[in-house]
A = this chain, B = another copy of it.
Amino acid sequence: MKELVESIRNKVFEALPEPARASRPELAEYARMLREYPQRGGKMLRGALVLLTARAYGSDEAALAVAAAIELFQNWVLIHDDIEDDSEERRGGPALQRLWPLPLALNAGDGLHALMWRVLVEAGARRKIMQEFVRLIETTAAGQHLDLSWVQQGRFDLNADDYLEMVRKKAAYYTAVAPLRLGALAAGQLPHLSFTSAGLDLGAAFQIIDDALNLEGDPAEYGKEIAGDLWEGKRTLILIDYLSNAPAQERERAEELLRLPRAQKEAAEVAWLHERILASGAVGRARRTAEQLAAPALEELQEVFATLPNPEAARQAIDLLSGLVERRA
């Protein structure tokens, strides 16, 4: 697995521009901006899942470029997400728009987006692979619109189904469905239909656990700001559950706080809400929901992978998929 991640990382850095080769100091700075998030590491789970799935199907020749491209997707989308969410931290460092002015960071995200397509085009990726990338960007952007519009419009009339629809689009598709489908396509095979249904459930479970870690993760391991979701006013399943069970007065106080932009929130108030949510049992209930989504999805995927020609790669892919919902950081 370490070797696998290293090979994807090399492919990503092969594509990134070298500051030393820039024609002007400003463009060297631009190259450094494009490299900033990739350089911080990242677990490359999605790229590894592409490669292992392709191997399980019997051929990973075309998969390395696809794996690098989905990691480049992750990097440019995180740059734009961090601006959209007014986030503080990413992978243990300041968000890009806190190191450089926001307009430069936004533009660097677009440059990295183009680089993602460059990797695919230069590798001669087949049309079905290109179509899958279009779909994954469109799906993620639609989910991001839901997430952002709820925050921007101060909406709290949301239930668990609203959250699940948002998170399937915003996170589950590109985290689980797309890598599985791309792995099959890179091996020249048609993706199994279960990749979509089970991938959406498993990916939603992944995001629920991410939301839980945001509230109770180990600050030393978790690469983002603890309770950042509260600062950003994110409508998580945990928050929706907590609010629907909170006494009227407490709910009112929480919603008032969540409606404020980050700069107007007081740390003591955020700490109060954080403590109330942890005391409410909502995190544990969300983890159980994640478990209920993940268990049958993993079983279904295990059955599909059991039919594939390379059992060793299939086992590693299933390990990785299980790891998505068992992680602590």
Identify the A interface with B (CB < 8 A).
24, 26-27, 29-30, 77, 80, 83-86, 101, 103-104, 106-108, 110-111, 113-115, 117-118, 121-122, 124, 127, 130-131, 133-134, 137-138, 141-142, 144-146, 148-150, 152, 165
Residue of B nearest to A113 (CB): B113
Contacts of A104 in B (CB 8 A): 145, 148-149, 152
A118 to chain B, nearest CB (A): 5
CA distance A242 to B259 in the complex (A): 47
Contacts of A146 in B (CB 8 A): 24, 26-27
Contacts of A107 in B (CB 8 A): 80, 84, 141, 144-145, 148
* Contact yes or no, B121 A127, CB < 8 A: yes
Contacts of A149 in B (CB 8 A): 26, 29-30, 104
CA distance A34 to B222 in the complex (A): 35
> Known interface pairs A27-B142, A121-B131, A145-B30. Does A110 touch B108 (Cβ–Cβ under 8 Å)?
no
CA distance A198 to B113 in the complex (A): 28
Contacts of A29 in B (CB 8 A): 145, 149
Residue of B nearest to A111 (CB): B141
CA distance A110 to B137 in the complex (A): 8
Q: List 30 A-B contacts (CB under 8 A).
A: A24-B146, A26-B145, A26-B146, A26-B149, A29-B145, A30-B142, A30-B145, A30-B149, A84-B106, A85-B103, A103-B152, A104-B148, A104-B149, A104-B152, A107-B144, A110-B113, A110-B137, A110-B141, A111-B138, A113-B113, A114-B134, A114-B141, A115-B138, A117-B117, A117-B130, A117-B133, A118-B138, A121-B130, A121-B131, A122-B131
Residue of B nearest to A169 (CB): B27
CA distance A153 to B122 in the complex (A): 35
Contacts of A26 in B (CB 8 A): 145-146, 149-150
Residue of B nearest to A77 (CB): B110
Residue of B nearest to A131 (CB): B121
Residue of B nearest to A149 (CB): B26
CA distance A111 to B107 in the complex (A): 15
